[in-house]
């Protein structure tokens, strides 16, 4: 979910690619779009913003080193705040935005739509970056969009709306909502196909029993 939101932000605000991250421990692959390859972990910039977009999962064994390296670099270029975007699977339809911060005082700065997480844990690269931000004393916010266990542009749209409020931006989320409707229609069609297939199999078994 996070990569959909960040990718959309990069496209809408016309960020420029300024670098990338590579490691011999990353999967040996590149991404391709319209015949052109992209390095899987890329760094973008626009005005006062820097965005990191990862098209591959960061394996648990690498999270500490990647997070430490990133946050140390952020410190060296005087980044004032880190926001990490991820999903939290609840399979509920509300698409709420949960949030966590590195210091209690930062709760007051959260967008009104964000719900502070009362208890729990955040694993993977999201948790590692927030932990490193706290260690290196950079204000950090984790935005966790309520999602299903599938590509979820609707959850990404909720996250973009929260960013609009927080940074006084004006990103239109209608394209994400259109993507969401398309994906939901495909999933509904697939569910109907599976249901019809199961019904046909049951009818065939009943006929076999009748003539058996």
pLDDT by 10s per residue, the chain, length 212: 688 899 899 999 999 999 999 888 898 888 888 899 999 999 999 999 999 999 888 999 999 999 999 999 999 999 999 999 998 888 777 788 999 999 998 888 887 789 998 888 899 999 999 999 999 999 999 999 988 766 778 888 889 999 999 999 999 988 888 876 765 566 556 656 565 555 555 555 555 555 55
In 3D space, the residue among 27, 53, 23 whose CA is nearest the CA of residue 41 turns out to be 53
The pTM is what?
Answer: 0.81
Q: Where are the domains of the chain?
A: 2-173
How many other C-beta atoms can be found within 10 angstroms of the C-beta atom of residue 119?
4
CATH fold for the domain made of 2-173: Rossmann fold (3.40.50)
**Beta carbons of 111 and 169 less than 8 angstroms apart:** no
Q: What is the per-residue pLDDT for 46? A: 95
CA triple 104-109-115, angle to 5 deg:
75
Q: What is the per-residue pLDDT for 198? A: 53
* Measured distance CA(142)–CA(127) in Å, rounded: 8
3-state secondary structure of 11: helix
Q: What is the per-residue pLDDT for 201? A: 55
Q: What is the per-residue pLDDT for 121? A: 87
At residue 53, what are phi and psi to the nearest 5 degrees?
A: -120, 120
């Amino acid at each position: 979910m996070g990569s959909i939101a960040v990718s959309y932000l990069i496209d809408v605000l016309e960020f420029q690619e300024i670098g990338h991250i590579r490691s011999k421990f990353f999967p040996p692959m590149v991404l391709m779009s319209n015949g052109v390859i992209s390095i899987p972990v890329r760094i973008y910039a626009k005005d006062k913003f820097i965005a990191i977009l990862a098209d591959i999962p960061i394996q648990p064994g690498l999270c500490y080193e990647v997070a430490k390296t990133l946050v140390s670099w952020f410190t060296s270029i005087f980044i004032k705040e880190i926001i990490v975007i991820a999903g939290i699977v609840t399979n509920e339809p509300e698409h709420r935005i949960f949030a966590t911060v590195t210091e209690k005082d930062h709760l007051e700065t959260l967008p009104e739509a964000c719900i502070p997480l009362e208890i729990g844990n955040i694993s993977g690269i999201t948790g590692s970056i927030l932990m490193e931000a706290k260690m290196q004393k950079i204000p950090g916010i984790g935005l966790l969009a309520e999602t299903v266990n599938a590509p979820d542009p609707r959850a990404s749209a909720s996250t973009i709306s929260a960013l609009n409020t927080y940074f006084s931006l004006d990103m239109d989320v209608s394209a994400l909502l259109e993507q969401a409707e398309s994906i939901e229609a495909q999933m509904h069609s697939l569910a109907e196909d599976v249901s019809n297939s199961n019904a046909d199999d049951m009818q065939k078994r009943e006929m076999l029993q009748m003539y058996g």
